Amino acid sequence: MLDLFSEDAPWSEPLADGAVILRRRARDESEALITLINDVAAQNPFYHRITPGGHRMSVAMTNCGDFGWSSDSRGYRYSEQDSASGKRWPPMPDRFRALAVSCAQEAGFTGFSPDACLINRYEPGAKLTLHQDKDEQDLKAPIVSVSLGLPAVFQFGGFERGDATQRVLLEHGDVVVWGGPSRLRYHGILPLKPGVHPLAGAFRFNLTFRRAFR
């Protein structure tokens, strides 16, 4: 149980209408989450996908759940199999689902039922340029994003790529939930600074839970 009166209890920070950071919300179970990430990666390894434009992504990715997000020369999409291995994605661990559902609920999104979890792994220098998440069928469902390991600067913008962005540091155990009016905001991650995290070593991991299909 979380001790809400202890000095280091989680707190929340509004980001925009429909978007909130639940600070340290996943911290107490982070060791278990990292073990589960390693289990998924043992079945379906992280790798650097190629964008439709032919660039190798600096972020390495894998997925778990009924569907996984990937990118190759034919485009971005959700699929039941990893196009690289031809295998189905490993199932979404119950603990992952429970965390995502409870964070969504806390942010006001009841009934969230994720069918996909994209796992990003950042090494020093890895970044994610400004993008929108719009490959999901049901844009009414929120996205729940869990940060683990090394901290990173998150950029949160508007509805056009050129709009001004806010910069916020996302640290180990922080959870961002967004949906509703913010669902299609541009966002990205600045290049990761090198470091060593006691549980994640030289990496940052990010889990994003989505509802890909209705």
Site residues (vs Fe ion, CB under 5 A): 133
Percent of residues in the chain assigned helix, strand, coil, to nearest 5: 15, 35, 50
Identity at 175, one-letter amino acid code:
V
User: Out of 20, 37, 60, 189, which residue is the one contacting ligand MD6 (CB under 6 A)?
Assistant: 189
Residue 63: name its binding partner from ligand MD6, Fe ion, none (Cβ under 5 to 8 Å by kind): none
Regarding 150 and contact with ligand MD6 (CB under 6 A), the answer is no
How many residues does the structure list for the chain? 214
* Nearest-approach distance from CB 131 to ligand MD6, in angstroms: 7
Quick check: 26 binds ligand MD6 (CB under 6 A)? no
Q: Which is nearer to ligand MD6, 79 or 132 (CB)?
A: 132
Question: What letter represents residue 123's amino acid?
Answer: E
Which residue of 82, 115, 133, 171 would you call a contact of ligand MD6, by CB under 6 A?
A: 133
Decide: is 176 part of the binding site for ligand MD6 (CB under 6 A).
Answer: yes
The nearest distance, CB 79 to ligand MD6, in angstroms, is 18
CB of 134 to ligand MD6, least distance (A): 10
- 108 CB contacts (<8 Å, ≥6 apart)? none
Tell me how crowded residue 168 is: count the other CB atoms within 10 A of its CB. 16
Q: Who contacts 35 (Cβ-Cβ below 8 Å, separation ≥6)?
A: none
Place of tokens 């043992």: 42
Residue with tokens 């759940």: 65
* SS3 category, 10: coil
Contact between 208 and ligand MD6 per CB under 6 A: yes
The item of ligand MD6, Fe ion, none sharing an interface with residue 115, based on CB under 5 to 8 Å by kind, is: none
In angstroms, the CA 66 to CA 88 distance is: 8
30 makes contact, choosing from Fe ion, ligand MD6, none, with CB < 5 to 8 Å by partner type, with: none
- Which residues contact ligand MD6 (rule: CB under 6 A)? 120, 128, 133, 143, 145, 176, 178, 187, 189, 206, 208
